Amino acid sequence: MELLRILSSPRILDALLALKDGPKKRNELKNVLNVSTSHMVQILGKVTNLELVEQKGEHYCITPKGNLVLSVCELLKDYDRLMEKFSIMNEYSFDFLPDYLFERLHQLSEARIVEKKEDTFRPHEEFVNAVIEAKEVRGYTSIFFPEHVSLFSSVVDEKDYIGIIVNRDVMKEILANYREELKWGLKKENVGFYLSREDVKFSFIVTDRELLSFFYFKNGFFDYRRELICQSSECVEWGEELYRYILNNSVRVREEDVDKLALDLLG
């Protein structure tokens, strides 16, 4: 109940935010909040009684508890912004996400959604540009685009690292139609290619600059039209952790493994 009282009082949160920048005297805080003297006395009484702020001489300082409350409030605001900004997110399935990443979905609140209206089944222009411009590219895909083969082949020598994880269906498509191209790519020292043990219903790439994600609807169909793009450091961090999570349940494919893998998967 105490936290609910705090969240329902904008002036308390404003006071905490003001003091987060550094200790302030009562009159300084009063000017920042633009309130009357009597109102300022009430606010200070509340925040000190709740142990969110402490007085040191003439100055008021935010306490560790006050900083914690601000962190919780920011998390809730980020999540609300994500869901308000992208109501479409409620239509997607997130069953593939581990709990610790789902709980941090709010880190994508600075993202934007790009919707494609034509040539739906071709790679999005934003995806192509992200691959071309990045120094490092890591990702996972459960959907195969033939154009990806020529795209990655054309830029592989310009990248510090390319790490790609695919599911069994994508691997079958590559082995059936692009086996020699795969062998050529696997000779590159800056390439890591992996087969996921699970069919994760999701596709994404994370580069040193941004995260691009593609989702499945709750009915099981892949959304070819929309992609989520985010360039904040928090989004990139979230994407890198998702990549490591899928990578931990994947098997590396080497050049000498290709023909045997083709026999196992294609018969």
Q: Identify whether 80 is part of a domain.
A: no
Low-confidence ranges of the chain (pLDDT < 70): 1-9, 75-89, 119
Alpha carbon distance 157, 93 (integer Å): 36
Same domain, yes or no, for 53 and 99?
Answer: no
Residue 171 lies in a domain: yes
* pLDDT of amino acid 174: 96
Instruction: Let me know if residue 122 belongs to a domain.
Output: yes
Q: Is residue 193 domain-resident?
A: yes
- CATH code, 140: 3.30.870.10
- Residues 194, 237, single domain; the answer is yes
238 and 119, same structural domain? Answer: yes
Domain range for residue 201? 90-266
CB neighbour class for 32 (10 Å; exposed up to 12, middle 13-18, buried from 19): middle
Per-residue confidence (pLDDT) for residue 158, from 0 to 100 = 95
244 and 182 both lie in a single domain:
yes
Distance CA(249)–CA(124), nearest Å, equals 28
Give the tens place of pLDDT for each residue, 57-87.
989 999 988 887 777 777 666 666 666 656 6
> How far, CA to CA in Å, does 183 sit from each of 152, 158, 178?
13, 18, 9
Alpha-carbon distance 207 to 74, whole Å? Answer: 26
**Same domain, residue pair 45 and 130:** no
Q: What is the CATH number of the domain that holds 10?
A: 1.10.10.10
Domain count, the chain: 2
Kindly report, residue by residue over 188-216, the tens digit of the pLDDT.
999 999 999 999 999 999 999 999 999 99
| Cβ-based neighbour number of residue 250 at 10 Å | 20
Establish if 81 belongs to a structural domain: no
